[in-house]
Amino acid sequence: MTFPGSLDDRDALRAVRLAGAEPVPLWHGDSWLAEVVAIVLPGGFSYGDYLRCGAIARFSPAMRSIIDGARGGMPVLGICNGFQVLCEAHLLPGALIRNDHRKFVCRDQRLRIENSATAWTGDYAEGQEIVVPLKNGEGAYVADHETLDALEREGRVVARYLGDNPNGSYRNIAGISNSEGNVVGLMPHPEHAVEELTGPTTDGLAFFTSILKSVVSA
């Protein structure tokens, strides 16, 4: 899915291709989702995001179709700005706010996969440690205590930061899912860790192979 200010859309297309699936570019102004079986909302600044990250993207024609699709079980992965859009669209609880140190941060980040039962994490082992790039200015995940407790109780924390918390996220949360597990939001960037040549690792590829398996078997 490409919004006017999407930046990592090409990376997401490459990751899908390397995982063995056929990537289909989608345009924010179209409400028709073509014949796609899963959707990646990429990183970037969707509509400039001068107001609040993802706040406008949720109202785009394509997002209205995606919201309907996600509620009907269509797998959706929101990365970085895509995660922000999913929160703004209320497909995921909580919000992402400015990093606690007030600076943009780009670094190779250690994560622990906390839930390998979602549509997007089946190829990981529960508790597996991975390293993928993290890059955000507004990546601190926040929610009220009840919501955080519920997310943990229901196993909906998909990934957590290891080592120093890079942005002030509550409970070191790097990614969460909806209760059905088809919608996942992730602040770090697995699509930048799919090739030895350009990524710190290839640890991110399993997000994309996972979804391929889950849609094939569905």
Q: Which residues bind another protein (CB under 8 A)?
A: 4-8, 10-11, 14, 17, 29, 43-45, 47-51, 56, 103-107, 133, 135, 137, 189, 191-192, 195, 197-199
Q: How far is the CB of 165 from another protein (least distance, A)?
A: 15
Q: How are beta strands 105-113 and 95-97 bridged, if at all?
A: unpaired
Angstrom distance (rounded) from CA 213 to CA 28? 27
Q: Which is nearer to another protein, 44 or 94 (CB)?
A: 44
Q: Which is nearer to another protein, 77 or 92 (CB)?
A: 77
Q: How far is the CB of 130 from another protein (least distance, A)?
A: 15
Site of tokens 């957590």: 160
Q: Which is nearer to another protein, 154 or 195 (CB)?
A: 195
114, 138, 189, 192: which is the annotated catalytic residue?
A: 189
Residues contacting 101, CB < 8 A, separation 6+:
167, 168
Active site residue 189: yes
- Around Cβ 199, how many Cβ atoms within 10 Å? 22
28, 53, 80, 87: which is the annotated catalytic residue?
A: 80
Q: Which is nearer to another protein, 50 or 153 (CB)?
A: 50
Check residue 192 and report its DSSP letter: G
Q: How far is the CB of 10 from another protein (least distance, A)?
A: 6
Check residue 23 and report its DSSP letter: -
87, 114, 191, 192: which is the annotated catalytic residue?
A: 191
Q: How far is the CB of 209 from another protein (least distance, A)?
A: 16
- Which residues are annotated as catalytic? 80, 189, 191
